[in-house]
Amino acid sequence: IRRLEESVVNRIAAGEVIQRPSSAVKELVENSIDAGASTVSVAVKDGGLKLIQVSDDGHGIRFEDLPILCERHTTSKLSAYEDLQTIKSMGFRGEALASMTYVGHVTVTTITEGQLHGYRVSYRDGVMENDPKPCAAVKGTQVMVENLFYNMAARRKTLQNSNDDYPKIVDFISRFAVHHINVNFSCRKHGANRADVHSASRLDAIRNVYGVSVVRDLMEIEVSDENAVDGIFTMDGFISNANYVAKKTTMILFINDRLVDCTSLKRAIEFVYSAILPQASKPFIYMSINLPREHVDVNIHPTKKEVSLLNQEHIIETIKDAIEEKLMNSNTTRIFQTQTVNSSALAQANTQKEKGTDVSTATGAKSQKIPVSQMVRTDPLDPSGRLHTYWHGQSSNLEKKSDLVSVRNVVRSRRNPKDAGDLSSRHELLTEIDSNLHPGLLDIVKNCTYVGVADEVFALIQHNTRLYLVNVINVSKELMYQQALCRFGNFNAIQLSEPAPLRELLTMALKDDESMRDENDKEKLEIAEVNTEILKENAEMINEYFSIHIDQGGNLTRLPVVLDQYTPDMDRLPEFILTLGNDVTWDVEKECFRTAAAAIGNFYALHPPILPNPSGNGIQLYKKDVDQELLAEAEATWAQREWTIQHVLFPSMRLFLKPPKSMATDGTFVQVASLEKLYKIFERC
Ligand code: ADP
Ligand code: MG
């Protein structure tokens, strides 16, 4: 073991802080902002490898400070560790300039207020190369970094081989320009007249940097949460609407004026977009979050690229909800002008209600003056509900799986942004869904807590003080129908492990079909033949719109993903194919979409499995047979179904289902108890 020389240690450390030219630019620009500059100009040569020059009109650097300016751990911004808690400046480690001198040649020209002339001095490996030379200077500081990574051959090579860093640099400056609207930024290639970044007001800045079309599709968003327990937090910014279509997400995030990344927030936002606007699932986001300084730990990443926050989950959840609400409202506004008033009034009612619940759960019920008979102990914001957790202590395995599931969903739903959104008959069908919406049921669906399955068909949910039975088959059928229309033309695909011949599927279905009992086998074969032809004729269309793929040989090879992480019961595939062939109206576009979506809805709905439920009446059947394997399979199937209802169906239902009016009266939602009434009964006892 040998002790490394200090210069080696420093160079290694420097390579970490300054990873590439764009990280040097970021540090230099942050220094300029810390110095109170109102103009920052950046010039770059050869992607920053040859030259980076950042000039500002900030307060400058005092002559006395120049000798130690580029030593490691020299800073004017921090003196005691405790200051970190409240630090306002972006820098605090005193490492950036020093690092640059270990991996490049740094020259600083600076003048402080009231001086007659400035000074210029060059640095290498942390120290001055010569005494500062007096020189003419304009207000502020200019830092020049030349030959970056001249002494790190491998790094230089990879950077030369990889794409030029200039776009990254422009990207950084653009983000700063959007956020710091009272600083004028410019960025250009050395020698070029035209600057690639300029700025003015925030929207102007976005327009200048990202283009007019982006600005046109932005909506302003604002959230503040002044819940005393969690501390104050505010967010404001711009988010793109349904018309913004891009290949990838642009997320400009500032937390307490620091440009940072926050992967979990980005994911959460992308999830909301892909759920609500599958066609515009890659949004443009500019967001500025402000928190009490002591709630942000800025010291978790060497280049300060990430920060950690107190109550991160809560903050993300709040932002996610706000975006969801904004998108939902804007979505309906876009298509159905007449509905706006209604839905926003309802949304308002919802938020008020939510606030009410929040207070009662957060501060304990006793201090609140809510009568016991109206006290709600469950939390609709908890996706899996609370009561259920008490009943099934061991289900934690599955819970973990559901986290993974939601992450994967985001990744998957991202892949397929074809545009098929402008078919008017599909829009008409979507309009029908909206005009048929039952607002009361929508409120129940959005804010309910899942309690558990009640029997083969019904599940129990709680909404405020009421308990409802929900027909799982009906709601899932409707949900799948609506999703089939929403995701229209944009499905991900389920690939069948083996192509399934349509003819065989149809023959199978016809054999099981009660109404076909009287037909003989020859006739059935003919029907199968005709249907196969019909499906083959329409194969291209159903593939494009519904991602049901039939190959040349008349085999089914792909089915659509209607809900992420959900595959339909393949026992029902023959019946589905028969319905497609027989019951879809192929010649009228709108009816065709409606009937095809309905067929999909029926196939994907959560019907009870074909094997009888072993924990219900079905148990006798298994006893007689004493078929252990079958019993095990049945148990697994039913357990899986229960899990899917809780973790896939209900969460998706809250997000997507627009319950039609008919569901209020057809037994889909049935109120079984209300706390107020129960209390009356108990009081009598
Ligand atoms: P840090 O920003 O973490 O303090 P740096 O190495 O980036 O560390 O900078 C060291 C010090 O140099 C800063 O604390 C600041 O006092 C001074 N400095 C750097 N750049 C400028 C600038 N553009 N204008 C004025 N002072 C600067
Ligand atoms: Mg700095």
DSSP string, 570-639: GGGHHHHHHHHHHH---SSHHHHHHHHHHHHHHHHS-PPPSSPPTTTTTHHHHHHHT-HHHHHHHHHHHH
CB 500 within 8 A of CB 682: no
pLDDT > 70: percent of the chain: 81
Answer yes or no: is 358 within a domain.
no
- Stretch 498-523: mean pLDDT, rounded? 82
Q: What's the pLDDT score for residue 409?
A: 41
What confidence category does residue 422 fall into, taking pLDDT thresholds of 50, 70 and 90?
low
Ligand 1 atom at minimum distance from 97 CA? 6
Beta-carbon-side half-sphere exposure of residue 2 (alpha carbons within 13 Å): 5
Tell which one of 18, 30, 31, 143 to mutate to probe ligand 1, the residue whose CB is within 8 A of the most ligand atoms.
31
Structure-model confidence comparison of residues 192 and 320, the more confident one: 320
Sheet holding 458-463, edge to edge: 449-453, 458-463, 466-471, 669-674
What is the number of structural domains in the chain? 3
What does pTM read for this prediction? 0.47
CA–CA dist 278, 484 (Å, integer): 12
Query: How far, in Å, from the CA of 106 to the mean position of ligand 2?
Result: 14
pLDDT band at 413 (very low <50, low <70, confident <90, very high): very low
**Selection from 56, 17, 28, 25 nearest residue 171 by Cα:** 25
pLDDT at 272: 87
Residue nearest to atom 7 of ligand 1 (CA): 96
Residue 71, domain member (yes or no)? yes
Ligand 1 close to Cβ of residue 58 (< 6 A) = yes
218 and 190 inside one domain: no
Q: Is 385 in the pocket of ligand 1 (CB under 6 A)?
A: no
- CA of residue 115 to ligand 2 center, whole Å: 24
Same domain, 470 and 584: yes
Tell me the mean pLDDT in the region 217-245.
Answer: 80
**Do 493 and 600 fall into the same domain?**
yes
Tokens 């929403």 found at: 486
Q: What angle do CA 207, 210, 214 make, to 5 degrees?
A: 70
- CA-CA-CA-CA torsion for 137, 141, 145, 146, nearest 10 degrees? -10
- Quick one: 255 and 187 in the same domain? no
Residue minimizing CA distance to atom 25 of ligand 1: 60
Residue 372 domain-assigned? no
555 phi and psi, to 5 degrees?
-110, 145
Would residue 654 count as lying in a domain?
yes
Check pLDDT > 50 for residue 282. yes
The pLDDT of residue 382: 52
Q: How far apart are the first and last CA of the chain?
A: 83
Q: Are residues 261 and 134 in the same domain?
A: no
pLDDT per residue as tens digits for the range 541-559 = 899 899 999 998 889 999 9
Asked which of 271, 302, 328 is the last residue of a domain, the reply is 328
Amino acid at the residue 20: R
- Residue 160 binned pLDDT confidence (cut-offs 50, 70, 90): confident
Q: Residue 174's domain spans which residues?
A: 6-199
Distance from the alpha carbon of residue 13 to the mean position of ligand 1, in angstroms: 18
Joined together, the tokens standing for residue 230 give 């969690």
Q: How confident is the model at residue 132 (pLDDT cuts 50, 70, 90)?
A: very high
Pair 500, 581 in one domain? yes
Whether 194 and 224 share a structural domain: no
What backbone phi and psi angles, to 5 degrees, belong to 311? 60, 35
Q: How far is the centre of ligand 1, averaged over its atoms, from the C-alpha of 89 (Å)?
A: 10
- Ligand 1 pocket test, pick from 34, 73, 143 with the greatest ligand atom count within 8 Å of Cβ, gives 34
| Percent above pLDDT 90 for the chain | 30
Q: Would residue 657 count as lying in a domain? A: yes
For 528-548, give one letter per residue: b (16+ CB within 10 A) or e. beebbebbeebbeebbebbbb
Instruction: For residue 414, tell me if it sits in a domain.
Output: no
Q: How far is the CA of 231 from the centre of ligand 2 (A)?
A: 29
Q: Is 79 exposed, middle or buried (0-12, 13-18, 19+ CB in 10 A)?
A: exposed
Average pLDDT over residues 258-264: 86
77 lines ligand 1 (CB under 6 A): yes
- Distance, in Å, from the CA atom of 403 to the CA atom of 380, rounded to the nearest integer, reads 18
> Taking residues 303-311, what's their average pLDDT?
75
Given the structure tokens 């501060």, which residue do they identify?
Answer: 363
- 44 alpha carbon to ligand 2 midpoint, in Å? 19
Mean pLDDT lowest for which of 162-171, 187-196, 397-406, 560-569? Answer: 397-406
Strand 39-45 to 184-189 pairing? parallel
Q: Is 395 in the pocket of ligand 1 (CB under 6 A)?
A: no
Residue 388 has a pLDDT of: 39
41-45 contacts, C-beta under 8 A, 24 or more apart: 41/185, 41/186, 41/187, 41/188, 41/195, 42/169, 42/173, 42/185, 42/186, 42/187, 42/188, 43/187, 43/188, 43/189, 43/190, 44/166, 44/169, 44/187, 44/188, 44/189, 44/190, 45/189, 45/190, 45/191
244 closest CA partner among 209, 201, 267, 273: 273
Please check whether residue 205 lies inside any domain of the structure. Answer: no
- Is 57 close to ligand 1, i.e. is its CB under 6 Å away? no
Do 142 and 256 have their domain in common?
Answer: no
Examine the pLDDT at 15 and tell me if it is beyond 60.
yes
pLDDT band with cut points at 50, 70 and 90 for residue 148: very high
- Separation between Cα atoms, residue 384 and residue 127, nearest integer Å: 60
Among the candidates 172, 199, 226, a domain finishes at 199
Pair 65, 170 in one domain: yes
CATH of the domain at 121: 3.30.565.10
Q: Same domain for 128 and 236? A: no
> Do the domain assignments include residue 416?
no
* Ligand 2 centroid distance, CA of 90 (Å): 7
- Residue 394 pLDDT grade (very low, low, confident, very high; cuts 50, 70, 90): very low
pLDDT digits (tens, 9 = 90+) for 600-617: 999 999 998 887 777 766
pLDDT interval class at 464 (50, 70, 90) = confident
Q: Which of 328, 351, 371 is the last residue of a domain?
A: 328
Q: How far is CA 514 from the centre of its chain?
A: 47
Mean pLDDT of 326-330: 81
Supply the pLDDT for residue 391.
39
CATH number for position 243: 3.30.230.10
476 and 515 belong to one structural domain: yes
DSSP letters spanning 623-684: HHHT-HHHHHHHHHHHHHHHHHIIIIIHHHHHHH---BGGGGTSSSEEEEEEHHHHHHHHHH
CB atoms within 10 A of CB 352: 9
> Looking at the structure, do residues 477 and 600 belong to the same domain, yes or no?
yes
| Contact indicator for 603, 556 with CB cutoff of 8 Å | no
Residues measured by CB to lie within 5 Å of ligand 2, the ion:
31, 91, 96
